[in-house]
Structure 1
């Protein structure tokens, strides 16, 4: 079992235990590589099958980062290492998406304590939990446009569950969201300070658990609601809520040309919008076009269908030169000067984008998901 994923069993007053699963690779902000993903999947499977385990608390060993996403450098290295090794990319994404689907369907309550950086796959893990806790240190983002990828890990599904077009706005700009945004957007249910986590764990061990999903989930909701009220945590104002009307106006016309014009006009006196505009302008135009197509196709999809769609996009995009260049510039050489293939969304050929949505295999690796 990877030391970067750890299990702590907290005995309950009624017998059994609360399973605390902790991501503990602080040097890379818990970005999930294949060994970590395997270890996390094995632990979750074991807990799901263990009658003595009543619930899961998924957290990080550091308040600075819950999970900064998947390990993009590992994926890029596999892409460049040859056809045989590149096949591991498909296995990695398939494993990611299966784990997320199983977490959404987990037979026991899952509490996710997401403090610090919560990005990409980390956001997918948070969204999959039944009870989601942010902290005043939480910084949520979908920054994939900066490295030439796109928001995955269930984003095709949960972007449409965010208010209005705020999900599309976040996917296109990679803008950072605070704890107030997390609540407003529905990406978190509660906000608690990190200092209260030990006390919460102690209180959870004293509850009258029934070892029955619906009853325990309802009891947990009541307990967390009361605990949050007692903590009386001061929330930062939500950037998304304050700018809801503007965001709706910006995303009203979703054609590439209109989005390009609207989002390049974000520079001004608003510091938060400036950052959104700079990230959009410095990101891959082809990613923005993928996001627009993804958003359109994702409307009304079930979770399993959304993950199957992402499996296709990810398999194609991970092998694309735009992603390879983005990872080089942002994560390897760190010159922050990616040489993108296109200067604007209007330059991106529609047939190029449609190709990312065309399955590269005869048998879909997630064909059985949801059946």
Structure 2
């Protein structure tokens, strides 16, 4: 068992158990390694058939993050240093997306404690949970454009549940969403205090259930969570995305070239919105084009279709896109100066993108997970 993930069980409604998964790599902000992904998948599958485990709590060690993303440096090293032509990339992303799909379709309620940074691969875990808890420390983001990737881990599905302008803005800018906006947008289900963790466990442990039916378990969880959302001690953060919705709707209209020109002239008093502008203009132009293409395709698609296509796109972009250069510049050499394949979005938009969505010859068919 990986020491980077801890599994335990806690009391739930007196006679039952709450399975607890704790990401235990605070030094890396709980970045997901392949070993962590596999062990979580195995444990969740085992608990799904355990009648005493009636719900699952997913959390991260340390004060800074639930999970700041996937361990993409391992993917980079396999391609750039070992020259494996994407074999590990297929293995890593394939298993990560199987875990995300398992969480999305899990037969028992999953509660995710989304404190601190919830980014990239962390969002894949978080968004699959039925109960998505945020707090004043929470910062939710899909920052892949900064490393030459694109919002994956099912984002083609869950971002498309938002109004189009918000989906595009979050996907293209690595903007960090606060707890209030997360709840307003439906990315989170409950807003509670950071300090409420132990009291939450105590209240989940208290009380009784007639049986372990999904309905009764969910009712107990929802009664407990409802009490925390009414707390007088809860500091309310000002919404920002909602407050600037009209500006963002205009900014995100049209094709990727229109958006590029709009960003070039965008000015706002908000430091976070201007940081988002910077992220877009300094991010991978190729990724920007692929992001909009993928979001447009993902509208109305099933989870299974999304994960299948994301696996193909992730392998292709890691081998042939800007991924290796982005990871090198931001996470390996840390010179913060990536040299992208294209100088601007206008140049990248002229390149045919279809090859990125075609299965590479080395790719075997992705094993699918079906909830039973």
SS in 1 for 2:159: helix
Q: CA deviation at 1:170?
A: 0.8
Paired residue for 2:366?
Answer: 365
The 1-side partners of 2:109 and 2:321 are apart by 41
Matched, 1:230 2:217: no
Q: CA deviation at 1:38?
A: 1.4
The within-5 A match list for 1:316-331 is 316-331=316-331
Paired residue for 2:261?
Answer: 261
The within-5 A match list for 1:1-371 is 1-82=1-82, 84=84, 86-209=86-209, 210-230=211-231, 232-253=233-254, 255-361=255-361, 363-366=364-367
SS in 2 for 1:2: coil
The answer on whether the counterparts of 1:7 and 1:21 sit within 8 Å (CA) in structure 2 is yes
The 1-side partners of 2:279 and 2:202 are apart by 42
User: What do you get for the CA RMSD once the two structures are aligned?
Assistant: 1.8
SS in 2 for 1:239: coil
The 2-side partners of 1:105 and 1:29 are apart by 26
Any unmatched runs of 5+ in structure 1? none
Q: CA deviation at 1:92?
A: 1.2
Q: CA deviation at 1:84?
A: 4.5
The answer on whether the counterparts of 1:103 and 1:128 sit within 8 Å (CA) in structure 2 is yes
Select between 169-178 and 360-369 the one with higher mean Cα deviation: 360-369
The 2-side partners of 1:349 and 1:263 are apart by 16
The answer on whether the counterparts of 1:312 and 1:359 sit within 8 Å (CA) in structure 2 is yes
The answer on whether the counterparts of 2:86 and 2:318 sit within 8 Å (CA) in structure 1 is no
The 2-side partners of 1:85 and 1:208 are apart by 54
TM-score (norm 2): 0.94
The 3 A distance-change label for structure 1 pair 245 and 193 is: same
Q: CA deviation at 1:225?
A: 1.3
The 1-side partners of 2:214 and 2:94 are apart by 27
Corresponding residue pairs, total: 370
The answer on whether the counterparts of 1:112 and 1:133 sit within 8 Å (CA) in structure 2 is yes
The answer on whether the counterparts of 1:97 and 1:307 sit within 8 Å (CA) in structure 2 is yes
TM-score (norm 1): 0.95
Q: CA deviation at 1:270?
A: 2.6
The 2-side partners of 1:34 and 1:81 are apart by 18
